[in-house]
Amino acid sequence: MEIRDTHILVTGANRGIGRALVDAAVRNGAERVYAVARDTTSIARFSREPHVTTLLFDVTDPQQIEAAATRVGRLDLLINNAGVLEPADPISADLALVERNLQVNFVGGLRVIRAFLPRLEAQHGSIVNMLTMASLASVPSMAVYSASKAAAYSMTQALRFQTGRTLCQRARGVPGSRRYGHDSPPGHAEGRV
């Protein structure tokens, strides 16, 4: 997908991969980039960028998502990047932690897709769900995280067939296991994603 002149929404834009994706989209000529975070002070640096609009919402809060969706007109690309990585095994982990991983990494992404799908359909747009290799192969100390990402992977496969949308899955190591804030996001050099 060409980035130039597109309208892109990136969740989890406050640091790491999300921040790098916003920067790369602007650098490669996106007309409008919606940078999303739970706390707008964490994305205040984007307020100086004329092509970036900051949006406040938590992917676990349906009302915040719906309110933000009313502020977005055209949308060509949705990047579901918001997530949590909380190392835990399924036997000893507090169930609240298990539920939080599922709510953020799986249900949250689905909520965002549902809210913005009409805008994407109007533009024949695409969705990128940021996943990890842990969605395909679980590690005992991260089994809860892996399960939440495996659910997101499975959802992505189902949505690809159900909606006919172009849904991409980006699996690049395990976010949070390295500092991704300084890495170049995929496709940035060519202005493609």
CB 22 within 8 A of CB 93: no
- Spatial separation of the C-alpha atoms in residues 45 and 59, rounded to whole Å: 21
Asked about 180 being catalytic, the answer comes back as no
Q: How many residues would you count in the chain?
A: 193
- Backbone phi and psi for residue 40, each to the nearest 5 degrees, phi listed first: -65, -20
Which of 34, 145, 153, 180 is labelled catalytic?
A: 145
**Angstrom distance (rounded) from CA 178 to CA 29:** 28
User: Which of the residues are catalytic?
Assistant: 145
